[in-house]
Structure 1
């Protein structure tokens, strides 16, 4: 018996034919896609940025990712509107736009990367996107009245009302960390305490205990509290009063990545347990660093690495430190009759532009740098009773104008502090029976917000000390 199978296909042949057909179709689709892509150019696949960091820190990046590898992008092909200084790098299918300084709050920016193309292809396209920056909240210290607690309150600039973040007695200062507050308080006998208050959802976290910092001596007074931007350390000026008089007055550092014990910054600029601390008239952390600019009691200027990893740098002398410019690599200092921009990287000094109209006043106060070419200065005339009729002048290059800010005639200006991006100013005023913080636009003087209080967290960026205004 035989079976004729010559007319029956082998079982695997139809499957192989279908597989070959599918591969051919996919190859055709890929070829067509390549042809279409070569005519259309690359397309934007994703955008990445932090809305919060863009308004609070310099050197923040916007990352645009294309669907294909790109020919190197020229900086001139990236346009940001409204204009914002930036640098451009590209690699593979990504373009990174790094902004020189913080951007404006609550603003939409359009970003266009023009004429991008795939290597070896002629077709070009534009990558377009918009980003919206974040807003901010401010923290203010509100002294208690009639036996009420002192409060540290929060207010969003885009919203009304305040929320209590922390309350206590004798609060004289505070500094904001990433997820906590450092709170400085005084008792009636002049002894100081420092607490680290954990936060949750913008308020004190009741589930986590407050950490009480062990002070350098049993009795003493602390002042000029500042914290590093990265939240890894904070420092203060301390006077040991255990003998009934002030001694060992100087700068101490608390490393929050280590023991949390205050350590004296010695005269050589290094944290040294048990050392006599470096004497201080003014000091503050240089923005975005672990270094501090210190003006000593003999008017020497020292750049101190609070971590102790590098040697201190001596930067000459100054009779006053007004503050920092932009990202912090430059400080504005007074040296004799001159006001200069001090480059903290190499010690070079350049005269600050001060048109005659900006100095026509009997009282010349603190300078608040906004950008590399503009600043605001507190000036005023002395009244018959010795008080100062204060006003603010804005200097931009050679142009001088009065900032249209209302300062009550019975109020004294205690501080003028810039927002991290230089867009706003906090102006703190005090009368015989009240204190007020006004947040104004740094260009127009328009009022953005006001709240009761004696200081704002923005003011912690300014050098403070025994003779700082």
Structure 2
């Protein structure tokens, strides 16, 4: 009779093999448990929106661990280059939140020491590296026969024409759409949307013939706004019927009057979008200043009375303004104000023009300095609260500084300059008339280095 599986002689080798396999598996599991015990938690995955991280504050790096962990304290985190952060922990997730936008084209290392499992006592160090991108700014180059909206990088000399047409007065951008205003020889404006995806052009209908100025787009949503001046002034109306019009592109193509409430129109002499919000700071008559949502029937919220709005910080928290006594910084969150006394620049007291608070709390300013010869020299400067530092001035002090625009992360400033005033010739446009030699230089704020120069203006980051 042949042996069967029930025979003792057959069962014994099988049992020995089975027990050996089980023992090996138990031993292997023990080894893995020992490794986990000795090594502590490990990083499984990491997520960050690199586009938002260089443009907006409070963006998060989300770190996923291979097990649930104890809460992480901010002092356990080291970020290189140094950046202020806050942190929250939930199960196996650590969310590291950056207080300010990150620098362009920079490798960051985030290290968390003493990461401890919720079940095991052994701790570990978790580390993640990532590299940020860089923006591709747009600017307006007025030429013959067409004006062009051009895209460039922060480095190199390449340029890409995005859209061209005669008579561009101004442009703005939202998502994958350009908003472009043109003006003819009679001062009549057109307004159009241009798709960046396929170049399709859609003309927007204006209420009547007139001129579009102050064109801008909210960076918190597809809301466009502009000041509209009718060709035929309206008798009996403040500013002759000039008003601020807006359109929410998510809600169709209907224009509404900003500041219109109950059929009455709040007169607006000047206005600016608040960065990161769907609201505006507006000035009415007698220098009254309000915060106003860019929506139909919005109720103005009083801020104070100021002679000029000098700038709004890129995080939307602080407005710089002036009144009869000088400069003032205004919180747009609670309306509190504090005096801003500019620091001396090279031993001279500056006369301020436009001012903007940077993400790190320093102030960038367009300032006029009186020279020993009694002339005035206009410079771009940075004020840290103790001293002022000249950031940029035109070569040989022969030119003029027109406007400036700080990058969303506060790393660069685009300065519009006329290099030589004596050679300046107007381009003859009826809207936003500029010198034919106007140039935009992009300056790194920390070092004062010029990283790019383009022949044009209206640069958008």
Tell me the TM-score normalised to structure 2 length. Answer: 0.87
CA contact (8 A) 2:114 2:125 kept: yes
Which segment drifts farther, 321-330 or 366-375? 366-375
Which segment drifts farther, 356-365 or 390-399? 356-365
- Name the SS for the 2:137 alignment partner: strand
| 1:155–1:12 distance in 2 versus 1, CA, 3 Å | farther
Name the residue aligned to 1:394: 382
What's the CA shift for 1:87?
0.8
Distance 2:290 2:348 in 1: 32
CA contact (8 A) 1:361 1:379 kept: no
Unmatched 5+ stretches in structure 1: 459-469
Name the residue aligned to 1:257: 250
CA contact (8 A) 2:394 2:400 kept: no
Distance 1:233 1:21 in 2: 71
CA contact (8 A) 1:149 1:168 kept: yes
Name the residue aligned to 2:442: 439
CA shift digits 1:184-206 (9 cap, x unpaired)? 11111111111110002xxxx24
Distance 1:370 1:296 in 2: 27
What's the CA shift for 1:425?
1.0
Name the residue aligned to 2:433: none
Instruction: Tell me if 1:45 matches 2:35.
Output: no
What's the CA shift for 1:247?
3.0
| 1:406–1:412 distance in 2 versus 1, CA, 3 Å | closer
Deviant stretches of 4+, over 6 Å: 2-6, 11-24
Name the residue aligned to 1:466: none
- Name the SS for the 1:183 alignment partner: strand
User: 1:285-300 residue pairs with structure 2 within 5 A?
Assistant: 285-300=273-288
Instruction: Tell me if 1:452 matches 2:449.
Output: no
Distance 1:6 1:315 in 2: 92
- Name the SS for the 1:331 alignment partner: strand
Instruction: Tell me if 1:62 matches 2:56.
Output: no
CA contact (8 A) 2:180 2:194 kept: yes
What is the Cα-based RMSD across aligned positions, in Å? 3.1
- Name the SS for the 2:251 alignment partner: coil
- Name the SS for the 2:322 alignment partner: strand
| 1:261–1:121 distance in 2 versus 1, CA, 3 Å | same
Distance 1:23 1:307 in 2: 70
Distance 1:446 1:151 in 2: 27
Name the residue aligned to 1:467: none
CA contact (8 A) 1:325 1:372 kept: no
User: 1:2-401 residue pairs with structure 2 within 5 A?
Assistant: 7=6, 26=25, 28-145=27-144, 148-200=145-197, 205-206=198-199, 209-215=200-206, 217-242=207-232, 247-268=240-261, 275=263, 277-308=265-296, 311-357=299-345, 360=348, 363-380=351-368, 389-401=377-389
CA contact (8 A) 1:388 1:412 kept: no
Tell me the TM-score normalised to structure 1 length. Answer: 0.85
How many residues align? The count is 441
CA shift digits 1:334-361 (9 cap, x unpaired)? 1222322211111111222422448945
What's the CA shift for 1:38?
1.2
Unmatched 5+ stretches in structure 2: 426-436
